[in-house]
Amino acid sequence: MSNPVPTGLAVLLLSTLCLTAGAAAEQLDGPEIKKLIAGETVRLNTPFGIALPLRYRTDGVVVGDVSGFSAARMFAPKEEGRWWIEANSLCQKWPSWYKGRQFCFKIASLGKGRISWLRDDGASGTARVGD
């Protein structure tokens, strides 16, 4: 049985700097989001200068692996959750990260494989899509 990720670490793992996307951002609809991320790795930018990888498999499984980050090794370093598109948002749910709570994200393209996201609880940030 893996240990759940504490709230503070969950914020670190799945949150990024709160940045405003600016005028160049293009809000994506559900099919555009799915086309952009299905089969890709999304690297979330963090305030610590590292990018945390989430792999969005085409079968609806999202894999988070922070085992390469020394501070995360004492927690559940790897977990598989589910992702889907709902109402033009990217939704995901992890078994133990975030205490199993579902979150949905509005996604905007910033160009050149970069996106901004706005989570349904108000958290926001940026990420890079692709390897």
Which carries the bigger pLDDT value, residue 49 or residue 55?
A: 55
- Could you tell me if residue 105 is inside a domain? yes
Q: Helix and strand tally (H, E) in the chain?
A: 2, 9
Domain count of the fold of the chain:
1
Q: Report which DSSP code applies to 117.
A: E
- Could you tell me if residue 21 is inside a domain? yes
- Could you tell me if residue 2 is inside a domain? no
Which carries the bigger pLDDT value, residue 10 or residue 47?
A: 47
- Could you tell me if residue 1 is inside a domain? no
Residues 27, 29, 31, 32, Cα dihedral to 10°: -10
pLDDT tens for 58-87 read 999 999 987 766 555 445 678 999 999 999
Give the model's confidence band at 131: pLDDT under 50 very low, under 70 low, under 90 confident, else very high: confident
Structure tokens at 55: 């792999």
* Residue pair 120/103 in contact by the 8 Å Cβ criterion: yes
Mean pLDDT across the chain, nearest whole number?
80
Q: Is it the case that residue 14 has pLDDT exceeding 60? A: no
Structure tokens at 110: 């910033």
- Could you tell me if residue 74 is inside a domain? yes
What is the C-alpha separation between 47 and 122, in angstroms, rounded? 17
- Could you tell me if residue 60 is inside a domain? yes
Give the pLDDT score at 52: 85
Domain span at residue 45 reads: 7-129
Proportion of the chain above pLDDT 70, given as a percent: 75
- For the segment 88-112, the average pLDDT, to the nearest whole number, is 94
